[in-house]
Amino acid sequence: MTRPDPKDPSVASQSESVLIDPIASLANDDGFAPVRAPRLSEEIVNQIANLVATGKISLNQRFPSERALQEKWRVSRPVLREAFRVLEAQGIVESRPGGGRFLRSTRVLDAGRPNWSDLRANRDVLMRLWEAREAVESKLAELAAIRATEEDIEKISRPIQLIEELAPEDLEDLDLNGQFHAAIATAARNPILEQIGTDLIRKSGQVGFKHLVGVTNWAALQSFHQPILDAIRARDPAAAVVASKLHFDNLRERVREAD
Ligand SMILES: [Zn+2]
């Protein structure tokens, strides 16, 4: 095993970009991460990121009213507005005066901004993330094959259908791949594993997988998603595990090729 290099830029960029998170110290191999007082508005941004990742808010959907959100989150109006200001600045939320707020993009949703210019450093983080995702998501797929309801299976198959139907330029602003994985996480019916799974999915998006391997042919990814769905639908947990592991093997291969 190689010792972590404290000057490794991937360690620094990751710890800065993940602000308030149960696994925020993920990329710090020594287990230590800088501590800072979290801001309430960042907590809201991260919650919205999770709502999007789990499909509880979808593209172009209108957010509940300020009053309703204040009650749910138990925060003041300025805190709420600060969170939405961050999302507006990133083009993720559109606010219409008197008309409410709408989700306009599901791309890069987090309090921190990823550093796209440092993809090489991100690659190392991404490889570690995928290692973790392979472990967690093969278990999630196994459980989903046992526990998924018909409705869950419908939610898992929807992103696959959309990828086939939509034009590549429309896919740029959507994270259908993330939604596919998040739907499996939900179908496993284990809230603890689901939380870990969706956090890891979101982090993979943050480190810039799309940019890193320059995915333009989204349909090609489907050849790895379809067997996972088929195994879950066939109620075959062992096949679901194999199909999940194959998917992550392929992803690692893509990053290596992008070297
Ligand atoms: Zn995938």
Query: DSSP string spanning 103-141?
Result: E---SS-SSSPP-GGGHHHHHHHHHHHHHHHHHHHHHHH
CATH fold of the domain at 40-103: Arc Repressor Mutant, subunit A (1.10.10)
Give the distance (Å) from ligand 1 centre to CA of residue 244.
9
* Global confidence as pTM: 0.59
Give the distance (Å) from ligand 1 centre to CA of residue 5.
30
Give the distance (Å) from ligand 1 centre to CA of residue 221.
7
| CATH match of 118-257 with 1.20.120.530 | yes
Give the per-residue pLDDT at 138. Answer: 98
Using one digit for the tens of pLDDT, what is the confidence trace for 59-79?
A: 889 999 999 999 999 999 988
Q: Which residue, among 163, 206, 160, 207, has the nearest Cα to 184 in the 3D structure? A: 160
Give the distance (Å) from ligand 1 centre to CA of residue 66.
34
Give residue limits of the domains in the chain.
Answer: 40-103, 118-257
Residues with CB under 5 A from ligand 1 (ion): 177
| Contacting residues for 247 by C-beta, under 8 A, at least 6 apart | 224, 225, 228
Place of tokens 């020594």: 30
Place of tokens 């639908």: 233
Give the distance (Å) from ligand 1 centre to CA of residue 132.
14
Give the distance (Å) from ligand 1 centre to CA of residue 73.
31
Q: How many helices (H) and strands (E) does the chain have?
A: 12, 2
Give the distance (Å) from ligand 1 centre to CA of residue 63.
27
Give the distance (Å) from ligand 1 centre to CA of residue 187.
16
Q: Which residue, among 66, 128, 100, has the nearest Cα to 252 in the 3D structure? A: 128
- For 18-27, 122-131, 171-180, 188-197, which range has the lowest pLDDT when averaged over its residues? 18-27
State the greatest distance between any 2 C-alpha atoms of the chain, in Å, as a whole number: 57
Q: What is the rounded distance in angstroms from the CA atom of residue 219 to the CA atom of residue 238?
A: 25
Give the per-residue pLDDT at 197. Answer: 95
Cα separation of the two ends of the chain: 22
Kindly indicate the confidence band of residue 162, based on its pLDDT and cuts at 50, 70 and 90: confident
